[in-house]
């Protein structure tokens, strides 16, 4: 198995996002990763979903590891920026970060 450079975890629960927008983001993420060429190669990204990340407000919540960057209020547009700017170009989308490890 080729190694992954990063792991993106999306909360698909209904507490941080009562409309459960995280599920849509999780599906969209696969398309965005493919578009940016992040499914294979040295910048390969693993995606995952979870029913809760313990935040439970201002979602959907998206986290990127090993960077330890937590994003809140993620929309499809913001997810596109996260994929292109953070995952591909290595530049964190600072204005959407609410927590860092």
Positions touching ligand FES (CB under 6 A) are 11, 13, 15-16, 52-56, 59, 61
Q: What is the DSSP string of 62-87?
A: EEEETTTEEE-S--HHHHHHIIIIII
Residue 93 CB neighbours (<10 A): 18
Query: Closer CB to ligand FES, residue 55 or residue 83?
Result: 55
What is the nearest approach in angstroms of ligand FES to the Cβ of residue 80?
20
What is the nearest approach in angstroms of ligand FES to the Cβ of residue 73?
12
What is the nearest approach in angstroms of ligand FES to the Cβ of residue 99?
12
Task: Give the separation between CA 2 and CA 7, rounded to whole angstroms.
Answer: 14
Task: Give the separation between CA 96 and CA 43, rounded to whole angstroms.
Answer: 22
Query: Closer CB to ligand FES, residue 11 or residue 82?
Result: 11
């Amino acid at each position: 198995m080729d190694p992954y450079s990063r792991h993106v975890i999306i909360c698909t629960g209904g507490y941080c996002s009562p409309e459960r927008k995280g599920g849509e983001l999780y599906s969209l993420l696969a398309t965005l990763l493919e578009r940016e060429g992040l499914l294979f190669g040295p910048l390969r990204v693993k995606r995952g979903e979870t029913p809760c990340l313990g935040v439970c407000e201002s979602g959907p919540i998206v986290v990127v590891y090993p960077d330890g960057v937590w994003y809140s209020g993620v929309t499809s547009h913001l997810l596109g920026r996260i994929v292109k700017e953070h995952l591909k170009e290595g530049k964190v989308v600072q204005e959407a970060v609410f927590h860092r490890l």
